Amino acid sequence: MKLGDGVEAAIHCAATLASVDGNSTMPGAALAEAFGLSPSYLLKHLNQLTAARILESLPGPAGGYRLARAAEQITLLDVVLAIEGREPAFRCGEIRQRGPVKIDASAYVKPCGINAAMLKAERAYRAALAEVKLSDIVAEYAAEGDRRSYAASCAFVERHQRPQKSASSKQT
């Protein structure tokens, strides 16, 4: 029951990328600098987000990362699953049929109640995460966050984003 440290970085980066203009991109090195992280390691997580179709990456001198779709269509659950993996945290090893109590395969057609309870709890967890969109995060930050901090973040984004000529499938 411990989330990796990369989840926090991934969400922050995604939220930052949600503030870039149109189809502009932002290099991974700039994102790493913004949060004081190791650039080489952050790329690993950004890579996972790219593989999950949350971000898209453009190579080349003017390249970088940007959201693959609108911030309203990205939830925290998407990001968490992309980093931590899609399989549930609790996986039933069926240890009840590993000891001498084991009877027959036909006796274990039903999943054990423990597994059902754990999976139900995890569904509640994921449902709560699915309700929060990336646009909610940035909106809440813009509305209730500290003005100076917000201005500084915007300035940082403005300074490091790189406009692109051809528009991708970003527009909604």
Partner DNA sequence: GAATCTATACTCGGATAAGTATTGTCCGAGTCGCTGAGG
Partner DNA sequence: CCTCAGCGACTCGGACAATACTTATCCGAGTATAGATTC
Nearest distance from C-beta of residue 74 to DNA, angstroms: 17
Q: Provide the 3-class DSSP secondary structure of residue 23.
A: coil
Q: Which of residues 110-169 bind its own copies (CB under 8 A)?
A: 110, 112-114, 117-118, 120-122, 124-129, 132, 136-137, 140-141, 144-146, 148-149, 152-153, 156
Nearest distance from C-beta of residue 118 to its own copies, angstroms: 7
* 83 close to 6: Cβ distance less than 8 angstroms: yes
* 16 close to 158: Cβ distance less than 8 angstroms: no
Q: Which of residues 47-86 bind its own copies (CB under 8 A)?
A: 76, 80, 84-85
Residue 43 lies near its own copies (rule: CB under 8 A) = no
Distances in whole angstroms, Cα of residue 78 to Cα of each of 47, 53, 86: 14, 10, 9
Long-range Cβ pairs for the range 150-156 (8 Å, 24+): 153/16, 153/19, 153/34, 154/19, 156/30, 156/34
Nearest distance from C-beta of residue 78 to DNA, angstroms: 17
E strands in 4-138? 55-58, 64-67
Residue with tokens 């996986």: 91
Binding site residues, DNA, CB under 7 A: 2, 4-6, 27-29, 38, 40-41, 43-44, 46-47, 50, 57-65, 85, 165
Nearest distance from C-beta of residue 156 to DNA, angstroms: 14
Beta carbon nearer to DNA, 4 or 111 = 4
Query: Among its own copies, DNA, none, what does residue 63 contact (CB within 5–8 Å per kind)?
Result: DNA
